Structure 1
Amino acid sequence: MLIICEAVLDEAQIAEFRTALAGADWRDGAASAGTRSVAVKQNLQLGRSDPVAQKLGAIILGQLGRHAEFVSASLAERIWPPVFNLYQDGGHYGTHSDAALMRLPEADLTIRSDLSATLFLSDPDSYDGGELIIEQPYGAQAVKLAAGDMVLYPSGSLHQVAPVTRGQRVCAISWIQSAIADASARALLYDLDQSIRALAPGRAKDDPEIDRLIHVYHNLVRRWAHP
């Protein structure tokens, strides 16, 4: 399941991010790649301990907690602190898959990557190339979103970032451990929640049918969430 979360950041926040990131301490992203991925990764990144990354990452996490689409699609239990990356001058990231388990030593925490997230920070017209290409059961899908929008996709899927041939592509990436590990169950819960959200505005606040659907939704969450 591939989900677009629009307007995670507003225009003022995007401007703030661009100002902060323009003068950031960008470093070779190969340092954070795995033993196989390092051969296909060519970009710049901010370290997890970088103060700019920590400040902006906290803003993103706060926004995600209030974003209804993200909450509905992810049912997030744990979120990896956002990592900021920059592609330019042919920079790219060849076909790869994300690690299933990701260790965050400073928090003494291991995260199971159920979903990957890419938050676009550059205007799509400001650079050529740079599409996030995600392999899906029915073919590959290229994603290039407006600044402030985020795409959620299965961490187990093969994906790549096409070479950036003009301008700069700046994004924040993260990984999510969902309370619902099973992707099929999570997709059904998302569809049910979308229906509830679509129907509820036209009904009374105490509508018994809406209440029954909400009852079913939460009991399914109880059934499928891990102990």
Structure 2
Amino acid sequence: MLTVIPDLLTAAQVTDVRALIDAAPWIDGNDTSGNQSALAKHNAQLPEDSDAARRGGAMVLDALAASPLFVAAALPLKVFPPLFNRYAQGDGFGAHVDTAIRIRRGSDFRIRSDLSATLFLADPNSYDGGELVIQMQFGEQRVKLPAGQMVLYPASSLHHVAPVTRGVRVASFFWIQSMIRNTEARATLLDLDTAIQSVGARLGQGDSEIVRLTGVYHNLLRQWAEV
């Protein structure tokens, strides 16, 4: 399941984040790579313990908390502190699957990576290539979104970043441990929640059938959730 979160950051927020991270020193992106990823990864990254990464990550986390669609789609239990990467001309990231357990360096914070997230921070017209290419059940999905928009996708999926041939691709990336471990169950809950909100907007949230459907949603959540 692939979910686009439109306008997670406003244009002004994107400008603020970019001003913060663009002025900071960058390092080799393999600083946080696993063995498999290190063979395929060619990009730059903000050090995860840098002041710019922490401050920029806090801005992203605030935006996530304020996004009903993110909460409904991810049903997050834990969110890994957002990281930031940059792909210049010739950079790319070959096919890989994200590490199952992510550990925050220098701490005991760890998550199971159920979902991966990429928040685009560069105007798509400012660079060529750089698409996030995800192998899904029904074929390949190529994602290149406007700055401020984010995509959620299963961390278990095979994916890569196409080489950048012009300009610079800048993004934030991180992982989510969901209360709902199973991808299909999570998709079912999102579909049900979306339908309830749509029908409720027409009939009113106090309609008896909406109340019943909301009860079904919460009973499924109660049955499936790990907290």
- Identical residues among aligned pairs (%): 47
Counterpart CA distance in 2 for 1:222 and 1:18 is: 40
Letter in structure 2 aligned against 1:46: L
Counterpart CA distance in 1 for 2:35 and 2:132 is: 21
Moved more, 67-76 or 205-214: 205-214
Letter in structure 1 aligned against 2:100: A
Give TM-score scaled by structure 1 length: 0.97
Letter in structure 2 aligned against 1:149: Q
- 1:44 equivalent in structure 2: 44
Pairwise CA distance, 1:161: 0.3
Q: What is the 5 A alignment of 1:45-124?
A: 45-124=45-124
Counterpart CA distance in 2 for 1:32 and 1:106 is: 13
Moved more, 28-37 or 189-198: 28-37
Moved more, 164-173 or 27-36: 27-36
Q: What is the 5 A alignment of 1:1-227?
A: 1-226=1-226
Pairwise CA distance, 1:190: 0.5
Pairwise CA distance, 1:109: 2.2
Post-superposition CA distance 1:68-98 (Å, at most 9, x none): 1111110000000001000002100000000
Pairwise CA distance, 1:105: 4.6
Task: Report if the CA contact (8 A) 2:120-2:171 is conserved.
Answer: yes
**Runs (5+) with no aligned partner, structure 2:** none
Task: Report if the CA contact (8 A) 2:116-2:155 is conserved.
Answer: yes
CA RMSD of aligned residues (A): 1.1
Post-superposition CA distance 1:100-132 (Å, at most 9, x none): 111225441220000000000000000000000
Give TM-score scaled by structure 2 length: 0.97
SS in 2 for 1:57: helix
Moved more, 157-166 or 99-108: 99-108
